């Protein structure tokens, strides 16, 4: 009886998938944070002394900073995830 050849079900091993995921997460988080930073800057410039609009701009600045923090810390999060799943 002939045995079937070994079938590979995945193109990449788990460590490579995690490395690719890390790259995508950093890129997407940085892009979204940059978008928030741009929106915050435009809102701040167009506020023209309106306190409510200035507050919205400050909130957008905070969201941008959180986005950049996620982009910077995502390798740490994914390293922890990698350790938890044993890859």
Q: Which pLDDT tens digits describe the chain residue by residue (87 residues)?
A: 556 567 666 677 877 887 888 888 888 888 988 998 999 999 999 998 899 999 999 998 998 998 899 888 888 887 887 788 776
Assess contact for 14 and 87: CB atoms under 8 A.
yes
Residue 3 is predicted with a pLDDT of 60
10: left (phi over 0), alpha (psi -120 to 50) or beta: beta
Residue 54 is predicted with a pLDDT of 92
Q: Could you tell me the residue ranges of all domains in the chain?
A: 50-87
Q: Which DSSP string do the residues of 11-48 spell out, in sequence order?
A: SS-HHHHHHHHHHHHHHHHHHHHHHHHHHHHHHHHH-T
Q: What is the pTM of this model?
A: 0.67
């Amino acid at each position: 009886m002939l045995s079937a050849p070994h079938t590979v079900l995945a193109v990449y091993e788990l460590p490579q998938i995690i490395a690719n995921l890390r790259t995508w997460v950093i890129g997407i988080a940085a892009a979204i944070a940059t978008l928030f930073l741009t929106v915050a800057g435009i809102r701040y410039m167009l506020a023209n002394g309106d306190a409510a609009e200035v507050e919205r701009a400050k909130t957008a600045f905070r969201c941008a900073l959180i986005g950049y923090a996620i982009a910077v810390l995502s390798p740490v999060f994914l390293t922890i995830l990698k350790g938890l799943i044993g890859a």
